[in-house]
Amino acid sequence: MPERINFDCTIPGCNKKAAVRRLCRAHYHEWRITSNPNHPKCKIYGCDKPVHTFKSMLCDAHRAKQWRADNPELALERGRQQTIKRKLLGKVYRPKQWKSPSAALQKAMHRRLREKIIRYYSCGTNKCMCKNCGVSDMEFLSIDHINGGGTNHLRQLKGQNLYYWLIKNKLPSGFRVLCYNCNFSLGHYGYCPHEVKCTATFNYRMRIYKPKR
C-alpha cells in the first residue's frame, strides 16, 4: 500500500496539515461558506449572510440575537460578567505602563486590582463565601482554590502574583473568596468550623483537634 502524502494547507501563512481540497479544516469551512454558491442563506428576509448551522438556518448575528431574546436573564448576566472582565483586562492590567512605577503607585495599583478581583469572585458581595462567616473586611479576604491544590499552584507560579495570573488567564473558574481564617482551616485541617456543625473533642495525648461527626 503506498504511503499517504501529507500536504500542507495552501493558504499562505497557514502551517496546518491539509484535510480537504488541499486546505485545513478551518480554511475549508470558510471556503465552503463563502465560496460555495449552493450554501443556504439566512432565513431572515433581507439577510444574505450564510447560515452558521443548518438546524437554525440563521447567520451568526441573527442566531445570537434570537438566543438573547430566548434567554434574557442569562444574556444579561453574561453581559455583566463580560463587562467586568473587559474593564479588568483593559484598564487594570497594563504591563507596558508598569515597567518602572514608584513604590506608592505600584502599591495603589495592586490594591485596586485585588479589590476588583475579589469583587468579581465574590459575585459583587465582597464577603467570605463560607457559611455562617460573613466577614466583609477587604483586608481579611483572600482567593481560595475550590478544588484544592493551592500550594502546588503557587509553586508553579514561581513567585508570580496570583492576582496578575488570574488577569492574564482571563479570570478562570475554580476560585472563590474566603477569609484568611476559613482558608487556613481548609488548607491545614481539611474543613472549616463554620461548615462543620459538630461537637469537637481535643485529644490531649496526640495533640490533634478531632471533630466528632
pTM: 0.47
Tens place of pLDDT per residue across the chain (213 aa):
445 556 788 778 888 888 877 778 887 777 766 666 666 778 888 887 777 667 778 888 888 888 889 998 988 888 887 777 776 665 544 555 545 556 677 788 888 889 889 999 988 888 998 888 888 898 999 999 988 888 888 888 887 788 888 988 888 889 999 999 998 988 888 888 887 754 344 333 334 444 444
Task: Supply the pLDDT for residue 175.
Answer: 93
Other beta carbons within 10 Å of 91: 10
Using CA atoms, how far apart are residues 105 and 94, in angstroms rounded to an integer? 13
Using CA atoms, how far apart are residues 140 and 137, in angstroms rounded to an integer? 6
Using CA atoms, how far apart are residues 186 and 110, in angstroms rounded to an integer? 26
Helix (H, G, I), strand (E, B) or coil at 23: strand
Using CA atoms, how far apart are residues 30 and 35, in angstroms rounded to an integer? 8
